[in-house]
């Protein structure tokens, strides 16, 4: 077993156009993965990203929260691995 603590990474914000919800989510997920790797973390592939949205009728936009989970493996290794699954690091490609 890989004896590391799972760390949560999150981002929240607003999206004006509901037709952009899916593409915005994908972009924010990529951003969070990049931030993880920059800090030496890789995604925990067994834990799905948590994305919640709420429509604010008064302001006519959506607010969202996105949470992803990562495990620390070090900055040098974080760009070599796709993520962590089960008890193993998964190599890219």
Please write the tens of the pLDDT for every residue from 41-66.
999 999 999 999 999 999 999 999 99
pTM for the predicted model, two decimal places: 0.85
Q: Is the pLDDT of residue 3 over 70?
A: no
The percentage of the chain sitting over the pLDDT mark of 70, rounded to a whole number, equals 97
Contacts with 42 (C-beta within 8 Å, 6 or more apart), sequence order: 36, 70, 71, 73, 77, 78, 81, 82, 83, 84, 89
Confidence at residue 1, expressed as pLDDT on a 0 to 100 scale: 47
């Amino acid at each position: 077993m890989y004896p590391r603590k799972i760390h949560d990474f999150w981002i929240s914000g607003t999206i004006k156009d509901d037709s952009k919800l899916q593409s915005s989510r994908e972009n924010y997920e990529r951003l969070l993965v990049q931030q993880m790797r920059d800090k030496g973390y890789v995604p925990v592939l067994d834990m799905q990203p948590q994305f919640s949205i709420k429509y604010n009728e008064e302001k006519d936009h959506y607010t969202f929260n996105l949470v992803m989970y990562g495990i620390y493996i070090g900055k040098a290794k974080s760009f070599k691995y796709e993520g962590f699954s089960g008890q193993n690091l998964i190599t890219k490609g």
